[in-house]
Structure 1
Amino acid sequence: MPRYSAEFIKDMPKSDLHLHLDGSLRLESLIEMAKRSGVQLPADTVAGLKKLVFKDKYQNLGEYLHCFQYTCAVLRDMDNLERAAYELAIDNQLEGVNYIEVRFAPQLLIDLAKGINLDKVMHAVNNGLKRAMQEYNQSADVKNGHKPPFAYGIINCAMRMFGDKGFSPYYTNLFQLMHDFAPMDVIKLAAMELVRASVRLRDTEGIPIVGLDLAGQESGYPASKFKEVYEYAHQHFLLKTLHAGEAYGAESVFEALTECYADRIGHGYSMFIPEMITEPSITDKAAYIRNLASYLADKRIAVEVCLTSNLQTNPALDDIKKHKFKDMLEHRIATVICTDNRLVSNTTVCKEYQLALDNFDIPLKRLKDIVAYGFKKSFFPGSYVEKREYAKRCLEYFDLVAKRHNLT
């Protein structure tokens, strides 16, 4: 198995296509933002928050998601939100990440009582990311062509579920306004509002909203319920990814593909676990998984792999070598290494690559393929021709870095 140094991993061009803004704040900044906005945190020191909230290990997905109530609370302030987006881009640039797709649920941050609507939320995030991009791309290395430029896209997340109170001011108000609707109808309505707004802001305001995601609790809230929402995205050339095969089995991935026109799959981890298939008509579970994996591979539908996050939210996964990333590699599925949540999972893109390369047999050619998928399977905010040219520049740089580190 080849050995890759931390220096090489940092130097090589990278992307992060599954990156939650509200799960990736700097801890020091979170404390400052909370003081500025009058938000009460369980502790006011980095050490205290690491002990009580942002842990190295979590008992389950519920405890993991508990962290977001604090980050979302401080991000309902547009200065804090723009700062968080700016710092996230900077943090990625500092570890050699050239392209990021930042995703979040804008409706979690809307607070109409404070004058915060969806347009303001989207502009704040875009302003922070754009400022960081422009600063980076003014550097001599980029201008002289020695390094690829930095670029980004924004993915808006619709929520699979939310409660009638306490989830966020927007969702609480929506339930109050539509109290005669069934809860699932309110949830779907919110998702449709989001996708329509995303297309409008992309087309009229020039905000690089490149994709739609479906996040939140998978079990009990199947992707098929959001078919119309994804049809709208599909019909308006908005690309599509879904959290699927994270806490629900292979059928979740199948639904994402067949009901929601998925261009990529978020996580996909549990699609290789036969015991998680619950549909009674699927009698040969191994064959079903094999066929699904073959379809994904053949169509080059990329899976956004989040190793540390999966380790933290799946108690049964007690050894990284048991991760289904191995199965994805064996089935030749297009895989992209991602962080999920830099703060909540205490990770970076470099850490995720190191974890993958130290524990799975990935020759240099295969590593270059994984890096390439990060650029080629991105939802790049430009034409296909522009994306190809950008990917080509990044992969030529990969070859230069590999040569510099005596890897051939």
Structure 2
Amino acid sequence: MSQTRYSAEFLKAMPKADLHLHLDGSLRPAGLIDMAKRSQIELPSYSVEGLYELVFKESYANLGDYLNGFQYTCAVLRDMENLEQAAYELALDNLAEGVNYIEVRFAPQLMMDLARGIDFDTVMHAANNGLARAKREYNQTPEVVAGDKPPFEYGLINCAMRMFGAKGFSPYYTELFQTLRDHEPKQVIKIAAMEMIRASIRLRDEEGLPIVGLDIAGQEMGYPAHDFKEVYEYAHQNFLLKTVHAGEAYGAESIFEALTKCYADRLGHGYSLFSPEMIQDPAIDNKAEYAQKLASFIADRRIAIEVCITSNLQTNPAIGSVANHNFKHMYANRLATVICTDNRLVSRTTVTREYELALSAVDVPLKRLKDMVAYGFKKNFFAGDYVQKRAYAKQVLEYFDRIVERHNIL
């Protein structure tokens, strides 16, 4: 247990960033109900309590159980009014708990429906409009204008899907499989990913949308990162930063592939880095040594890990409790860790709550807590240039010091 005590009020007040935040997993439950009624989407319950009991639980049996709720959130987000509302409300919910910077990620092709005129550009503008409205409103408040509080900033991370089927994932994916029916399924998946990244860079460069990064999401096992090497190379060559879901449900070799095949600037989850028993590559004889060398390599290069404690506990019940979570090993090995939520609705959590969990497992003195906060602003994929990013991080960390003083933290 942590010996250094920080109050919930302090953790809520201190500036924070969330760099691993899925839009389709982070709707307000009441908002989901309103959207479903408006779009005539059937839900298992039309009360918040009912949704918490039946879908968005405190604990899940397995990953499949955890992912069950996304069928409802993705369905409502194919309505562009709903998508804009969800993005707007997500920003407000973060601002309400002192989160000044977010990188919102989702798979645009899950929302696309060309038969209804909902193409890639339409989806991206809807999501951006909601976030931009929240930013505009917050940054005009007297405290921000006077410089007493740091402004709100955000970026968009677009996810390619590691896998999807010929039916049921989204209207776009279903139509793509029909159009490319003579291709192997993996070829169709890679074509979709390449289309997404080309469109992302076009919108960033031609229309100035703050699309700051690429991610691949979905099942790791059977769909390795190297399948998407060309997609990541294209992003790399066009100065788009890169994160990879790696080491969430597969061994450390998945993390190594993300770094060496996909030029990963950050790692999503990275949990298995300190679970050598999860390594399945028969060529790796000494698994513990491999994991330790890889951890040292990541620490030395200051590659940040997007840590999502509640999500890991829910998708992998065998972990048991936060005391058994590999965050303690990440901390002990001096890795750059950013405390994130993953899915605010599906995991029923907040950034403040994730900090409380992390600090209950590890004794973190104030200096290193400030380092952890700083990683969220120094390792983010800021939409401006590097000089602007440094100035913003400096402003946020000066605000952190003022919050420390205000709460008499020694």
TM-score (norm 2): 0.99
Q: For residue 324 of structure 1, what is the aligned residue in structure 2?
A: 326
1:258 to 2:281 alignment: no
From 299, 302, 308, the counterpart of 2:310: 308
Amino acid at match of 1:339: T
Amino acid at match of 2:245: H
- Report how far residue 45 of structure 1 moved: 1.0
The 5 Å alignment of 1:169-208 reads: 169-208=171-210
Q: For residue 155 of structure 2, what is the aligned residue in structure 1?
A: 153
Amino acid at match of 1:286: A
- Report how far residue 63 of structure 1 moved: 1.1
* SS of match in other structure, 1:155: strand
Amino acid at match of 1:126: N
Amino acid at match of 1:66: N
Q: For residue 285 of structure 2, what is the aligned residue in structure 1?
A: 283
* SS of match in other structure, 2:199: helix
Amino acid at match of 1:245: G
- Report how far residue 308 of structure 1 moved: 0.3
* SS of match in other structure, 2:27: coil
Amino acid at match of 1:307: I
Q: For residue 355 of structure 1, what is the aligned residue in structure 2?
A: 357
Q: For residue 397 of structure 1, what is the aligned residue in structure 2?
A: 399
The 5 Å alignment of 1:4-403 reads: 4-403=6-405
- Report how far residue 359 of structure 1 moved: 2.1
Q: For 1:259 and 1:338, locate their aligned partners in 2 and report how far apart those are by CA, in whole Å.
A: 25
Higher mean displacement: 239-248 or 313-322: 313-322
Q: For 1:321 and 1:143, locate their aligned partners in 2 and report how far apart those are by CA, in whole Å.
A: 42
* SS of match in other structure, 1:85: helix
* SS of match in other structure, 1:2: coil
- Report how far residue 406 of structure 1 moved: 1.0
- Report how far residue 112 of structure 1 moved: 1.0
Q: For 2:275 and 2:362, locate their aligned partners in 1 and report how far apart those are by CA, in whole Å.
A: 19
- Report how far residue 317 of structure 1 moved: 0.8
Deviation sequence 1:269-313 (CA, Å, 0-9, x none): 012111111111111111100110001000000000000000000
- Report how far residue 175 of structure 1 moved: 0.5
Higher mean displacement: 278-287 or 73-82: 278-287
TM superposition outliers: structure 1 runs of 4+ over 2 Å: none
Q: For 1:342 and 1:207, locate their aligned partners in 2 and report how far apart those are by CA, in whole Å.
A: 24
Amino acid at match of 2:236: H
Q: Which structure 1 residue ranges, 5 or more long, are not aligned?
A: none
Amino acid at match of 1:299: R
Q: Identity of paired residues, percent?
A: 70
* SS of match in other structure, 1:279: coil
Q: For 1:232 and 1:34, locate their aligned partners in 2 and report how far apart those are by CA, in whole Å.
A: 37
Amino acid at match of 1:273: S
Amino acid at match of 1:278: Q
Amino acid at match of 2:397: L
* SS of match in other structure, 2:156: strand
Aligned residues: 408
* SS of match in other structure, 1:341: coil
- Report how far residue 83 of structure 1 moved: 0.3
Q: For 2:124 and 2:306, locate their aligned partners in 1 and report how far apart those are by CA, in whole Å.
A: 24
* SS of match in other structure, 2:317: coil
* SS of match in other structure, 1:260: coil
Amino acid at match of 1:274: P
* SS of match in other structure, 2:57: coil
* SS of match in other structure, 1:362: coil
- Report how far residue 319 of structure 1 moved: 1.3
Q: For 2:79 and 2:344, locate their aligned partners in 1 and report how far apart those are by CA, in whole Å.
A: 21
Q: For 1:351 and 1:276, locate their aligned partners in 2 and report how far apart those are by CA, in whole Å.
A: 28
* SS of match in other structure, 1:336: strand
Q: For 1:399 and 1:240, locate their aligned partners in 2 and report how far apart those are by CA, in whole Å.
A: 31
| Preserved CA contact (<8 Å) 2:328 2:361 | no
Amino acid at match of 1:165: K
* SS of match in other structure, 1:316: helix
- Report how far residue 77 of structure 1 moved: 0.5
Amino acid at match of 1:52: L
TM-score (norm 1): 0.99
- Report how far residue 43 of structure 1 moved: 1.1
Deviation sequence 1:242-275 (CA, Å, 0-9, x none): 0000000100000000000000000000121111
Q: Which structure 2 residue ranges, 5 or more long, are not aligned?
A: none
Q: For 2:48 and 2:10, locate their aligned partners in 1 and report how far apart those are by CA, in whole Å.
A: 30
